[in-house]
Structure 1
Amino acid sequence: MASTGGRLKDKGSRLQVVAAGATAGLISRFVVAPLDVVKIRLQLQTHPLSKSTASADLGGAPLYKGTLSTIRHILQHEGITGLWKGNVPAELMYVCYSAVQFATYRSTTLLLQRIPGQEGQLPPAVESFVAGAAGGAAATASTYPLDLLRTRFAAQGNERVYPSLRRAVVDIYRDEGLTGYFRGLGPGLGQIIPYMGTFFAAYETLRIPLGKLEMPFGTGDAAAGVVASVTAKTVTFPLDLVRKRIQVQGPTREKYVFKNIPEYTGAISALRTILAREGFKGLYRGLTVSLLKAAPASAMTMWTYEQALRFYIGLGGTDSAAEVQGV
C-alpha cells in the first residue's frame, strides 16, 4: 500500500476521492443505524420535559426516557429490524453524501490553495473550515430527499405510513409536490455549514498532533474525528432537531409513532413552539444518543476514508499518489 505522505485531504484523483468517500459512508452508516433511529425517535417526542410522565399528553404514543429505554421498546414492539428502519434510503444517502462531501472538500481545498496572492498562505484551520462548509452544504442539498425519506421511515411504528421506498417517493410527490422532498432544507443547510466547517477545522487541526500519540489504529485520524464531531454536533444540534420535526410535516404528520407533533410553518415557528411548549431542554432532545452516534460514526468515517483513499491510490500506482491536478 502506497504511502501518500503530507495532508491526505488534497491527494488522489477525483475518482479515488469519490470512491473512498462512498466506501466510508456505506460502512459507517450501517454500523450506527440503530442509534440513528433512536435519535430520530427522541427528537420527535414532544411532551414537555418539565411535566411528569403521568400528566404528559402523549396522544397514545410511546414514552421514551432515554437511549436504552428506546432501544428496549423498539426491540419489544417492532423487533430487531425496527432498529434499521429507513436504512435503505439512509445507505443511499450516506454513500452519495460522503462521495459529494469529500469530492467538494478536495476541490474547494485546491481552489483555495490557488487564490492569486494567497497560494498556501491561508491558515490551515480557515482553509479546512471553508472547504468543510462547502462540502457539507453541497452534500446536504444534493441528497436531501433521501434524508427526508430516512427520517419518515425511522419515524414509522408498526403502522406503516409508506409500505415501500417506491411508494413513499410516489406518495410524497402526489400529495406534497416536488417541494415536499425538501421540507426542512433551510435549517438543514443552516446546521450543516457551521457543523461541517467546525468539524473539518477541528479535525485537520487535531489529526497531526494526535497522530504522535499511541492510538489503537496507529494514527490520530479516529481520535481527531471523535473530538471534532462532538464539538460540532453540540453547537449545531437545535437546528438538526428542528429539521427532523419539519421533515415529518405534511399530510402524514399524525400517522407516525408520535401523532401529536405540532404543525410548524417554518424553522422560526418550530423554534418558538419548542421553546414555549418544551423549554430550552426541548431543543436538545436526543443529544446524548446523537453524540454516542456521532463519535463512532465520524471516527469510522474519517478512518475508513483515509484507509480507503490510501488503498485506491495504491491501486492506481505512484503516479496517482501525486495527482492533484484539476479541480
Structure 2
Amino acid sequence: MEEPGQLKRAFIDATAGAIAGGISRTITSPLDVIKIRFQVQLEPTSSWALPHGGVYGPSKYTGILQATKDIYREERLRGFWKGNVPALLMVMPYTAIQFTVLHKLKTFAAGSSKSEDHIQLSPYLSYLSGALAGCAATVGTYPFDLLRTILASQGEPKGWNHLRYGQPNGSPSDDSLSSFQLFLCGLAAGTCAKAVCHPLDVVKKRFQIEGLQRHPKYGARVESHAYKNMWDALRGIVQAEGWAGLYKGIVPSIIKAAPAGAVTFVAYEYTSDWLESILT
C-alpha cells in the first residue's frame, strides 16, 4: 500500500498535469486545427513540392494566413475550436498520466522512496523516464486523439457532428527555476519534439481519416485501406506528394508546440505549488 505522502504527490501530479494540459490545448487549438487541415490534405501546398508525375491538383490550403482566412470565412470562429472537447478529453488525462508516471519513474530510477524530494537524474534516465511516461499517456488517450482528428479535419458541411459518432516531453522542473526558464524549457522541448516526429504525426493523421467522407471542395480524400502499414504510408506519401508531404503542417505545428509546451510547463508548476499549499 502506498504511503499518504505518495498518494498526495500522485494526486497533485495528476491534477496539475490535467489542468495544465487543458489550458495549453484550448489556447493553441486554432493552430492545431490548421495543422490538421494541412496534414490531411493530399494536394501539395506549393507547386515546387509536387513530385514528377504527381497525381494531385491545386490545394485548398496553401499557407497559414490563407488557411486562417478560409476557415474563418467558411466556419467562423467556432471552426478554430472544432474537436476541442475530445482534444481536452485526450490531453487532460494525457498530461495527468504523463506527469504522474514520470514522477513515479524518476523516483524509482533514483532509488528514493520520498516522492517529494527533488530528484536529479542523468540525461539518459531522464530521457527514458519521459519516453515511457509519454508512451503510457499516448496509449491511454488515443481514442480521443482519433475523435479530435476526425472532427477537426472535416470542415463544413460536417460529416460527423458529435462525440458519440465519432505535448510536451520533459520532466517537471526544479523549484529553483524561474517562470521564464520554465517557459524556455517548454519552448525548446516542444519545438524539438515536433520537428523530429512530424512525419510520423502526418502518417498517424492519414490512418485516422481513412475512408472519412468530406465535401469535395476540400480535395481528394484518403480512401479506405490506402496504406498497408506505416512504411507503406511513408513511401506512398513521398511518391505522390514529394518529401514535403511528410512535413505538411510543420509550420503551424512548431508555432503551436512552442507556446503549448511553455504554457504546460508553467501552468503545471503554478498549479502544483497551489495544490501543495492547500493540501499541507
- TM-score band by shorter chain is 0.7 to 0.9
Superposed displacement of residue 259, structure 1: 3.4
Show structure 2 runs of 5+ residues with no match. 1-5, 113-117
Q: What is the 5 A alignment of 1:271-282?
A: 271-282=234-245
The residue number in structure 2 matching 1:228 is: 189
Q: What is the 5 A alignment of 1:1-327?
A: 13-48=9-44, 51=47, 57-58=56-57, 63-114=60-111, 123-168=121-166, 199-200=169-170, 211=177, 217=179, 219-250=180-211, 252=212, 257-261=218-222, 263-317=226-280
Contact 1:21 1:95 in 2 (8 A): yes
The verdict on how the C-alpha distance between 1:228 and 1:11 changes in structure 2, with shifts beyond 3 A counting, is: farther
Deviations 1:91-134 (A, max 9, x none): 1111111111111111111111129xxxx998531121111101
The verdict on how the C-alpha distance between 1:157 and 1:15 changes in structure 2, with shifts beyond 3 A counting, is: same
C-alpha separation in 1, matches of 2:146 and 2:89: 12
C-alpha separation in 2, matches of 1:229 and 1:52: 28
The residue number in structure 2 matching 1:184 is: none
Instruction: Count the aligned residue pairs.
Output: 264
For the residue of structure 2 that corresponds to 1:220, the secondary structure is: helix
C-alpha separation in 1, matches of 2:155 and 2:39: 15
The residue number in structure 2 matching 1:323 is: none
Superposed displacement of residue 137, structure 1: 0.4
The verdict on how the C-alpha distance between 1:220 and 1:287 changes in structure 2, with shifts beyond 3 A counting, is: same
C-alpha separation in 2, matches of 1:90 and 1:78: 19
Contact 1:241 1:285 in 2 (8 A): yes
Determine what percentage of the aligned residue pairs are the same residue. Answer: 35
Show structure 1 runs of 5+ residues with no match. 1-9, 169-194, 318-327
Q: Aligned AA for 2:93?
A: C
For the residue of structure 2 that corresponds to 1:167, the secondary structure is: coil
Q: Aligned AA for 1:270?
A: A
For the residue of structure 2 that corresponds to 1:242, the secondary structure is: helix
Contact 1:242 1:270 in 2 (8 A): yes
C-alpha separation in 2, matches of 1:309 and 1:121: 16
Root-mean-square deviation (Å): 2.9
Superposed displacement of residue 48, structure 1: 3.6
Q: Aligned AA for 1:126?
A: Y
The residue number in structure 2 matching 1:3 is: none
Q: TM-score, normalising length from structure 1?
A: 0.73
The verdict on how the C-alpha distance between 1:148 and 1:27 changes in structure 2, with shifts beyond 3 A counting, is: same
The verdict on how the C-alpha distance between 1:138 and 1:112 changes in structure 2, with shifts beyond 3 A counting, is: same
Superposed displacement of residue 260, structure 1: 3.0
Contact 1:229 1:298 in 2 (8 A): yes
Deviations 1:211-251 (A, max 9, x none): 4xxx7x4x41111110121112111111011111111014x
